[in-house]
Amino acid sequence: MKGIKVSAIVFMILCLGAMSLTFFFNIDKRWELEGWGITAANLMLLYLLFIFLRTFIIVLLSFLEYLFFKKVESPSYHPLVTILVPSFNEQEVIANAISSLKKIQYPNMEILVIDDGSFDMTTSIAKEFEDKDQLRVIYKENEGKAEALNRGINEALGEYVLCMDADSILKEDVLLRAMAYFEKSPDLSAVAGRVEIGNSHNLLLKFQQLEYVTGLNLFKRAQSLLGAVTIVPGPIGVFRKSSLKEIGLYDADTFAEDTDLTLRLLTEGHRIKYCPEMVAVTEGPDNFQQLLTQRYRWSRGMLQAILKNAKWLNPFKNNWRNFGIISYMVLETVIIPTVNFSFALLTLQFALSYGTNNILGAYFIGLTLLDLILSLFSMITERELKGYFLLSLINRVTYGFSLEIIRFFSLIDELFGIPMKWGTLQRKGMGAQ
């Protein structure tokens, strides 16, 4: 098996090298441009080289984590874990979520369903499952997800807490997987799980599954090698409760409470790993309007969390770990989306002014090949994608481009202080079409 993985990484290195040669061979085409077009083409080539290098580093770190991090297969101790299910108007999905929790294979756990002021049947449905020895339902006035989670943490009896979303279904072995990580690394404060889309009945949802595997989950594996996973996702994360208490629990002043909490843990010196076998299946938005609502909130929330930690961008504080973490977040959340969107607009201008037989061909071919390589790598290491692989061919100019637009305008709105609401997704249940 290791031989296959080594072959995979060698193959990707060769592909990255081939792509580099591809755009170097096309440098001469810059001279088809005129004036500012030459400068713009030079910048695009430099950016492409940067993206190649960044991708190589991410793939390499991810591969090393996969190859060298030896997990404990079965933990020898089973401390009490409290599962927190914050809920707001989740009557369509809460029963399935609780049913999945009842099937979890772990001998020492409790479940708290925290209803954050729902005005539907969420509480009454949850109470049908109530068992004072294992599952309790707490109803509170609506204050938002962060305060619902804080209420749950304060009432949790467990030494560890698992935070999830009410529209998620957890795999039966999630707690055994998580506790194995904590047993191996006693200094660990959190373990981020893997999120999968469970309702992939249309093309938009299939693109989201591709994004989760080749983007979100792949990057978490790379960050895990450094013990610095930058986002413990809302649908699945296990925390040492004492670490959460140390930083003051969740804050309610951003639209991405999970990102904010994770960054505060990291900047206080805590270590966070990623466990790809700790799986939550969640309901993705199945139409573009719902996707727009979700990603707009994510983007603005992440920028808010970064701005809260902007003090660490000062290298004279001599905390190079925090400087690196926040700088990386700025790069991925602000700089890359902005440059991607700007170059997309630039290509339209080039196409109108010079036609398409120039450096732009190499630029987009290079980016598409990178997408294919990430998909292939994820297929090997995550055992995912299969039929999704070919979507990588068109992802860059379809779904991926739409996300760049959303990220760009959400950043502009946040910087100019445009008011926004939380925004809610319409739950249909993962079996709905």
Domain boundaries, the chain: 2-68+324-415, 81-286
Q: What is the pLDDT of residue 164?
A: 96
* Section 46-66 average pLDDT: 83
> How many Cβ atoms sit within 10 Å of the Cβ of residue 149?
26
The strand pairing partners of 87, in sequence order, are 115
Q: What is the pLDDT of residue 249?
A: 97
Q: What is the pLDDT of residue 369?
A: 72
Q: What is the pLDDT of residue 78?
A: 93
Q: What is the pLDDT of residue 23?
A: 53
* Section 319-339 average pLDDT: 92
- pLDDT higher than threshold 90 for residue 305: yes
Bridge pairing between strands 135-140 and 188-197:
unpaired
Distances (CA, A) of 223 to 182, 217, 326, 333: 17, 10, 13, 15
The model's confidence at residue 108, banded by pLDDT at 50, 70 and 90, is very high
| CB-based contact 104:175 (threshold 8 Å) | yes
CATH fold of 81-286, please?
Spore Coat Polysaccharide Biosynthesis Protein SpsA; Chain A (3.90.550)
Task: Please give the residue that has the higher pLDDT: either 428 or 162.
Answer: 162
Task: Please give the residue that has the higher pLDDT: either 2 or 35.
Answer: 35
Please tell me the least confidently modeled range out of 21-30, 236-245, 256-265, 368-377.
Answer: 21-30
Distances (CA, A) of 79 to 131, 176, 180, 211: 20, 11, 11, 34
Please tell me the least confidently modeled range out of 7-11, 67-71, 101-105, 193-197.
Answer: 7-11
The model's confidence at residue 18, banded by pLDDT at 50, 70 and 90, is low
Whole-angstrom distance, CA of residue 84 vs CA of residue 234: 11
| CB-based contact 58:225 (threshold 8 Å) | no
* Section 307-331 average pLDDT: 91
Q: What is the pLDDT of residue 419?
A: 84
Q: What is the pLDDT of residue 158?
A: 95
* Section 10-38 average pLDDT: 55
